[in-house]
């Protein structure tokens, strides 16, 4: 059981949280009912409790439409990394996301809006009650008050950043005092909100310590704020502003790559040397008085479970694409194949029954492929050898693969009767910083430095000690190989990976180096909710996604993607929810959806 933030909320305060935060439809402006609430909340303990309540909604309330914790629906499902998966009639609003046909009445839009601005509302509650408490007879200490304000503004920037990823223009909702008396529902969506996001993050940078406030792992610190602000600048192509923030993190000496890549995805290795900011997940209801994040809201395990086998009874969502699988191929020298047109078609078991023979590819592969993609003949996180079609809900709709990073291993802590695990989500880690800095180095013409940064990532992946081991193809349907039939000392595939050599022609040419860094980001962070947003900010989404659609229409036998297309002028952002436009006169719909 993970005890993260050591604040015990008294029963009265916990009860007030229920009153304040349950069954609410007004997400922009929550006011406590009755003077008792104010009397309790306007205390150091009350403000601290409200702050925990703001951290609590980092994951949102639903894993599909909001996808607030991982961004998997939009960052991966709308990209060339993953299909929705499962069956065509399951979570039908997702079909429109995948085909770039979302309309304002799509329920996912309302759900994302609700979760983003619920988070914003909670952070503003913290700031309002902090101000009132400081004017009362029992104020928070001056130093801690600054930290609380900084944590709240970090979170407020976070939630607005989550909103502006989806909608091109958003309302940036602050406290009424900051808005000079303007009501939250009167705030217009007349900008992407970048200036306000940056201002809140800069306040956090200036006022947070370099280690977790209060000594509580899981709170935002100065480095977390710098990492988020750097990413915000990258979104705007402000590389010169992101560069010093990333350099500060690198030069701090506080972070390093862990030896085992998969240590970024397991419970027992959380909050490690690579982690800059993790969304903390509680193990049981007993933990909620210590740390407010509900395991059932972030976790994707139930969605990504196989349909059968020892790890079955799941829903079968979030299936990696053949396009992603083939991106992991390498040359005989262990280097990536940068240009898609030069990649070979790799064998897959789509349409091959589990009791039929299948010969997997022996093409050289980056070992990260089998840390990311669950495929036939290879162990699935300790649950047994993946048996192919019999474990997949609908291959014609989602292909033959499943994701791996969000699935727990046997013996890991779970919640909800074992259906969901309680892993943290590593939202920002040192590997992000290294590859973002490499991205900037390429544009600055510092190609050798970019190569050195990329090679740090590749050298970690090349550590054979942590490669996936063991392969088995021949078995009876529904049965696992007998003990001793698998050589667990042998790599599960033909893994060949090397760093780029000093004389690499790739890093003697800016255009090629740019491709190399971008591909490395895809390989390192695949299925982690980043790919679509990266394609968009790089300005290559239209070309990449339309090429992917044409290829995918031939791969998935249900012809789901036939007739789909991506238009960068229209589909780069999603429409504001119609339900919100109907009740908030200050909002203007994206012109692309009028």
Mark residue 382 as left, alpha or beta (left: phi above 0; alpha: psi -120 to 50; beta: remaining): left
Alpha helices in 211-353 (DSSP H): 222-235, 239-251, 295-298, 301-304, 322-327
> What torsion do the CA atoms of 30, 422, 284, 217 make, to the nearest 10 degrees?
-70
Q: ∠ at Cα 240 (238, 244), nearest 5°?
A: 120
List domains and CATH numbers for the chain: 319-405+439-551 (1.25.40.390)
Write the Ramachandran bin of 555: left for phi over 0, alpha for psi from -120 to 50, otherwise beta.
Answer: alpha
Element counts in the chain: helices (H) and strands (E): 20, 8
Distance CA 400, CA 67 (A): 24
Q: How many Å apart are CA 96 and CA 160, to the nearest integer? A: 24
Prediction pTM value: 0.92
Beta bridge partners of 426: 278
Measure the CA–CA gap between 565 and 542, rounded to whole angstroms.
9
Tell me what pLDDT residue 308 has.
79
pLDDT of residue 2: 37
Contact by Cβ (8 Å): 405, 411: no
Task: Say what the pLDDT of residue 1 is.
Answer: 30
Q: Averaged in consecutive runs of 10 residues, what is the pLDDT profile of the chain (594 residues)?
A: 32 39 44 51 91 91 91 96 92 96 97 97 96 94 97 98 98 97 94 98 98 90 98 98 98 98 94 95 52 51 80 85 97 97 95 91 98 95 91 91 91 77 92 98 98 98 97 77 89 98 97 98 97 98 95 75 92 97 96 94
> Do β-strands 317-320 and 82-85 pair in parallel, antiparallel, or remain unpaired?
antiparallel
Distance CA 328, CA 365 (A): 6
d(CA 35, CA 12): 14
Beta strands 402-403 and 275-279, pairing class: unpaired
Beta bridge partners of 414: 421
SS3 532: helix
Token duo for residue 66: 């909001």
pLDDT of residue 70: 93
Token reading at 435: 């590859």
Rounded to 5 degrees, φ, ψ at 538 are: -80, -10
Q: How far apart are CA 11 and CA 16, in angstroms?
A: 9
Q: Say how far apart CA 72 and CA 68 lie, in whole Å.
A: 8
So what's the pLDDT on residue 549?
93
Per DSSP, the three-state class of 118 is helix
């Amino acid at each position: 059981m993970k005890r993260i933030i050591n604040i015990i909320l008294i029963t009265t305060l916990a009860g007030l949280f229920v009153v304040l935060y349950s069954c609410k439809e007004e997400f922009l402006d929550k006011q406590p009912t009755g003077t008792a609430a104010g009397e309790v909340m306007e205390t150091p303990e009350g403000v601290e409790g409200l702050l925990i309540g703001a951290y609590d909604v980092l994951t949102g309330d639903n894993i599909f439409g909001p996808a607030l914790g991982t961004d998997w629906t939009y960052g991966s499902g709308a990209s060339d990394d993953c299909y929705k998966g499962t069956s065509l009639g399951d979570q039908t609003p997702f079909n429109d996301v995948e085909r770039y046909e979302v309309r304002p009445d799509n329920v996912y839009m309302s759900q994302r809006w609700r979760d983003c601005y619920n988070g914003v509302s909670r952070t503003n509650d913290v700031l309002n009650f902090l101000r009132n408490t400081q004017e009362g007879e029992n104020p928070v200490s001056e130093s801690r008050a600054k930290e609380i304000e900084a944590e709240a503004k970090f979170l407020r920037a976070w939630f607005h950043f989550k909103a502006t990823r989806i909608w091109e223009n958003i309302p940036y909702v602050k406290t009424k005092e900051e808005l000079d008396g303007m009501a939250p529902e009167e705030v217009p969506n007349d900008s992407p909100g970048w200036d306000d996001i940056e201002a809140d993050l800069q306040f956090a940078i200036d006022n947070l310590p370099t280690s977790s406030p209060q000594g509580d792992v899981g709170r935002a610190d100065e480095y977390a704020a710098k990492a988020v602000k750097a990413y915000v600048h990258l979104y705007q192509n402000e590389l010169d502003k992101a560069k010093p923030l990333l350099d500060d993190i690198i030069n701090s000496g506080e972070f390093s790559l862990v030896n085992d890549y998969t240590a970024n995805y397991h419970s027992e290795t959380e909050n490690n040397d690579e982690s800059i900011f993790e969304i903390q997940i509680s193990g049981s209801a007993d933990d909620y008085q210590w740390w407010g994040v509900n395991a059932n809201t972030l976790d994707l395990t139930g969605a990504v479970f196989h349909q059968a086998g020892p790890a079955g009874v799941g829903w079968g969502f979030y299936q990696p694409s053949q396009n992603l699988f083939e991106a992991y191929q390498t040359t005989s020298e262990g280097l990536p194949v940068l240009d898609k047109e030069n990649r070979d078609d790799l064998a897959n078991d789509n349409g091959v029954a589990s009791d039929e023979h299948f010969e997997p590819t022996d093409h050289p592969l980056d070992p990260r492929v089998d840390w990311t993609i669950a495929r036939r003949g290879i162990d699935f996180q300790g649950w047994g050898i993946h048996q192919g079609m019999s474990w997949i809900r609908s291959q014609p709709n989602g292909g033959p693969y499943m994701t791996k990073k969000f699935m727990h291993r046997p013996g890991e802590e779970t919640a909800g009767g074992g259906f969901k695990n309680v892993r943290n989500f590593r939202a920002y880690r040192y590997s992000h910083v290294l590859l973002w800095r490499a991205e900037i180095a390429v544009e600055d013409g510092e190609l050798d430095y970019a190569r050195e940064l990329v090679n740090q990532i590749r050298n970690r992946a090349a550590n054979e000690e942590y490669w996936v081991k063991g392969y088995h193809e021949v078995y009876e349907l529904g049965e696992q190989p007998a003990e001793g039939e698998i050589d667990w000392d042998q790599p599960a595939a033909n893994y060949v990976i090397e760093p780029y050599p000093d004389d690499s022609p790739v890093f003697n040419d800016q255009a090629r180096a740019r491709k190399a860094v971008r591909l490395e980001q895809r390989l390192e962070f695949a299925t982690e909710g980043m790919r679509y947003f990266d394609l968009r900010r790089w300005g290559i989404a239209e070309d990449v996604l339309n090429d992917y659609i044409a290829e995918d229409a031939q791969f998935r036998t249900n012809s789901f993607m036939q007739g789909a297309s991506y238009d960068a002028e229209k589909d780069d952002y999603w429409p504001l929810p119609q339900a919100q436009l109907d009740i908030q006169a200050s909002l203007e719909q994206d012109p692309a959806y009028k």
